[in-house]
């Protein structure tokens, strides 16, 4: 991917994050969002792990056939990136690529604890900020990110 592609993708992901803000986010909402993600993955026969958190509490977690315990580790590492930087794991990783740097080296963060790869997306509530994280692990990072965005867009339409 060339520098112009990375810059365009950063702008697109930034705009998506600005756009996807919910009016509220309860434990029941976290459960519904998780179920929606699993439903989309099941329809497409995707081998993914799905995780939804409200605050630091894991409210929903499901692993589809074809995943491994390693996906759980990826989920945790991506979630840490969202909480630390207040942005999607994909956006944070793209910013490191744009800077021509390895994310973990750039921020001096251990690889075993932080992964700036697509798939973890901040759940934002209007007037509050980041209140949770929705995460997918198991596909290429752009596909993980796209699945979470698709589910959040669908969920936002029903939550309005």
The pLDDT confidence band at residue 2, using thresholds 50, 70 and 90, is: confident
Q: What is the pLDDT of residues 114-139, one digit of tens each?
A: 999 999 999 999 999 999 999 999 99
Q: What is the pLDDT of residues 99-117, one digit of tens each?
A: 999 999 999 999 999 999 9
Alpha carbon separation from 124 to 24, 26, 106, 116, 147 (Å, rounded): 8, 12, 26, 19, 17
Q: Where are the domains of the chain?
A: 3-159
Calpha distance 117→10 (Å, rounded): 13
Phi, psi of 152 (to 5 degrees): -65, -40
Residue 159, pLDDT above cutoff 90: no
Q: What percent of the chain has pLDDT over 70?
A: 99
The CATH superfamily assigned to 3-159 is: Haem-degrading domain (3.30.450.150)
Q: Considering the entire predicted model, what is its pTM?
A: 0.95
- Using an 8 Å Cβ cutoff, are 123 and 29 in contact? no
């Amino acid at each position: 991917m060339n520098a112009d592609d990375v810059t365009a993708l950063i702008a697109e992901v930034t705009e998506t994050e600005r756009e996807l803000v919910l009016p509220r986010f309860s434990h029941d909402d976290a459960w519904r969002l998780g179920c929606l993600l699993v439903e989309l993955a099941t329809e497409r026969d995707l081998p993914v792990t799905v995780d939804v958190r409200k605050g630091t509490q894991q409210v929903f977690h499901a692993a589809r056939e074809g995943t491994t315990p390693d996906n759980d580790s990826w989920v945790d590492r991506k979630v840490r990136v969202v909480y630390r930087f207040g942005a999607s794991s994909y956006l944070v990783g793209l910013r490191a690529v744009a800077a021509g740097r390895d994310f973990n080296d750039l921020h001096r963060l251990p690889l075993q604890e932080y992964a700036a790869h697509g798939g973890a997306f901040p759940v934002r509530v209007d007037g509050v900020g980041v209140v949770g994280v929705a995460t997918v692990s198991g596909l290429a990072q752009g596909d993980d990110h796209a699945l979470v965005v698709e589910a959040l867009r669908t969920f936002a339409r029903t939550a309005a």
